[in-house]
Amino acid sequence: MTLPPPAAALRPHAEQSFAEELAALERADSRTRPPGWRLSPWAVTRYILGGTLEDGTEITPKYIGARRVVEVAVATLATDRALLLLGVPGTAKTWLSEHLAAAIAGDSTLLVQGTAGTAEEAIRYGWNYARLLAEGPSEAALVPSPIMTAMSEGRPARVEELTRIPSDVQDALITVLSEKTLPVPELGTEVQAKRGFNVIATANDRDRGVNDLSSALRRRFNTVVLPVPATVEDEIDIVTRRVADLGRSLELPEVPTSLAEIRRVVTVFRELREGATADGRAKVKSPSGTLSTAEAISVVTSGIALAAHFGDGTLRPADVAAGIHGAVVQDPVSDGVVWREYLETVARDRDGWDDFYRACREVSG
Ligand SMILES: Nc1ncnc2c1ncn2[C@@H]1O[C@H](COP(=O)(O)OP(=O)(O)O)[C@@H](O)[C@H]1O
Ligand SMILES: [Mg+2]
């Protein structure tokens, strides 16, 4: 299943991008591996958090945050309980889920994207109707869902945005998770999950509550909450690393990214999110958007593209101003007021923020 990265893939899967790291970990890993796992829980955790192996291989950190969070997630997957990663948008739920699947099975592609329109076939199985009509129900006419494939191959399946899936469809997961089997009454058979099967789900605790998860289903999951970065330094670290990774993979021209510019984007986002200035002295109104770490990453990345192609090759306040404006002002009326108030009461008089203030004023008119 794991193919080498096609040179032109816009976004290779984690197991492709980090194939060398995964191979080095596999060689170095002498600990017990749970049935069906390519790596031990220790090595999976090392892959996620980064570090240097005895043979000198550098493992880059994927998730930046508390070790315990990752250990609990990995330990859960080594049991027969499924894992639910919960948090506000942009806390790396999807990111962590992909890397967990890549490290455990070398395959992060067995994925169900949860939406209001997700049907039961996406969780159980569907039919190739041409064949079904021609031959009647048969193994060849059956189209397995990613979950069914994960069960029969003994790998983890990922379910994105679980709570957006209608409840009756979610319930199809209950049998899968409790009985570890998926009956196919049309064929009089069932698929029994092989060891190594598990489910990694993500859910957003912003758009709809986790209460929408039926209690029967909820009991099948261990919930791990991914927090927003605790300190401004942590968040700057995440943004800096991810921006560098993204710039490399998009092959953006090298732009000296001033740390000061990243710090400013992160500071603005945090102050607006938290409703107070970093020193705690002044209150600030919060806009309607989430202003997540993920959005800070994309503001800086687009700033770099602007600087490289249209600017003087250095990331300047004017290169991030438009991106920040777009992230903050989602509702042109109410958020526009909040943003202008922030600019006038906080940004204008801050030391070293003159250029930034002017650039933002220009964008917001
Ligand atoms: N703690 C973190 N460590 C590493 N990357 C992070 C962290 N928080 C956010 N990110 C980055 O933010 C981006 C978006 O995360 P994503 O997984 O899509 O968020 P979610 O699914 O929680 O909405 C990813 O590119 C990820 O690298
Ligand atoms: Mg997500």
Q: Which tokens sit at 88?
A: 């506000």
CB contact at 8 A, 96 and 73: yes
Q: Whose CA is nearest to atom 26 of ligand 1?
A: 92
C-alpha span between 145 and 130 (Å, rounded): 18
Per-residue confidence (pLDDT) for residue 214, from 0 to 100: 84
* Secondary structure in 3-state letters for the chain: CCCCCCCCCCCCCHHHHCHHHHHHHHHHCCCCCCCCCCCCHHHHHHHHHCEECCCCCEECCCCCCCHHHHHHHHHHHCCCCEEEEEECCCCCHHHHHHHHHHHHHCCCCCEEECCCCCCHHHCCEEECHHHHHHHCCCHHHEEECHHHHHHHHCCEEEEECHHHCCHHHHCHHHHHHHHCEEEEHHHCEEEECCCCCEEEEEEECCCCCHHHCCHHHHCCEEEEECCCCCCHHHHHHHHHHHHHHHHHHCCCCCCCCCHHHHHHHHHHHHHHHHCECCCCCCECCCCCCCCCHHHHHHHHHHHHHHHHHCCCCCCCHHHHHHHHHHHHCCCCCHHHHHHHHHHHHHHCCCCCCHHHHHHHHHHHC
Q: Residue 348: pLDDT above 70?
A: yes
Q: Give the CATH number of domain 14-225.
A: 3.40.50.300
Q: Residue 200: pLDDT above 80?
A: yes
Between the CA of 273 and the centroid of ligand 1 the distance, in Å, is 17
- Of 120-134, 200-214, 329-343, the range with the lowest mean pLDDT is 200-214
Q: Residue 8: pLDDT above 90?
A: no
Which whole number is the average pLDDT over 46-72? Answer: 95
11 confidence band (pLDDT: 50, 70, 90): confident
C-alpha span between 47 and 17 (Å, rounded): 13
Domain locations along the chain: 14-225, 232-364
Which whole number is the average pLDDT over 151-166? Answer: 95
Residues sharing a CB contact under 8 Å with residue 233, sequence separation 6 or more, in sequence order: none
Q: Which atom of ligand 1 is closest in space to residue 92's alpha carbon?
A: 17
1 confidence band (pLDDT: 50, 70, 90): low
Between the CA of 339 and the centroid of ligand 2 the distance, in Å, is 26
CB contact at 8 A, 103 and 196: no
Per-residue confidence (pLDDT) for residue 207, from 0 to 100: 60
212 confidence band (pLDDT: 50, 70, 90): confident
Residues with CB under 5 A from ligand 2 (ion): 93-94
Q: Residue 86: pLDDT above 70?
A: yes
- By most ligand atoms within 8 Å of CB, the mutation choice from 11, 69, 86, 91 for ligand 1 is 91
- Of 3-7, 65-69, 199-203, the range with the lowest mean pLDDT is 3-7
Between the CA of 242 and the centroid of ligand 2 the distance, in Å, is 16
Quick one: which ligand is closest to 294's CA? 1
- 19 burial via Cβ count (<10 Å: 0-12, 13-18, 19+): middle
Residue 361 phi, psi (nearest 5): -60, -40
- By most ligand atoms within 8 Å of CB, the mutation choice from 293, 300, 301 for ligand 1 is 293
Q: Which atom of ligand 1 is closest in space to residue 87's alpha carbon?
A: 22
Q: Residue 208: pLDDT above 70?
A: no
- Of 1-5, 69-73, 197-201, 281-285, the range with the lowest mean pLDDT is 1-5
Task: Indicate if the alpha-carbon torsion angle 85, 89, 90, 94 is positive or negative.
Answer: positive
* Secondary structure in 3-state letters for 170-220: HCHHHHHHHHCEEEEHHHCEEEECCCCCEEEEEEECCCCCHHHCCHHHHCC
C-alpha span between 82 and 73 (Å, rounded): 9
CB contact at 8 A, 182 and 174: no
Q: Average pLDDT over the chain, rounded to whole?
A: 92
- CA distances, 219 to each of 81, 161, 223 (Å): 9, 17, 9
pLDDT digits (tens, 9 = 90+) for 241-270: 999 888 888 888 888 777 889 999 999 999
Per-residue confidence (pLDDT) for residue 296, from 0 to 100: 96
- CA distances, 51 to each of 32, 54, 144, 148, 236 (Å): 20, 10, 38, 35, 20
Per-residue confidence (pLDDT) for residue 7, from 0 to 100: 62
Q: Which residues line ligand 1 (CB under 6 A)?
A: 63-65, 87, 89-95, 202, 238, 242, 293-294, 297
| Predicted TM-score (pTM) above 0.85 | yes
Q: Residue 96: pLDDT above 80?
A: yes
State percent of the chain over pLDDT 70: 96
Which whole number is the average pLDDT over 305-330? Answer: 91
Q: Residue 100: pLDDT above 80?
A: yes
CB contact at 8 A, 154 and 139: no
Between the CA of 93 and the centroid of ligand 1 the distance, in Å, is 6
Which whole number is the average pLDDT over 162-177? Answer: 92
- By most ligand atoms within 8 Å of CB, the mutation choice from 200, 206, 232, 242 for ligand 1 is 242
Amino acid identity at 40: S
In whole angstroms, how large is the CA radius of gyration of the chain? 23
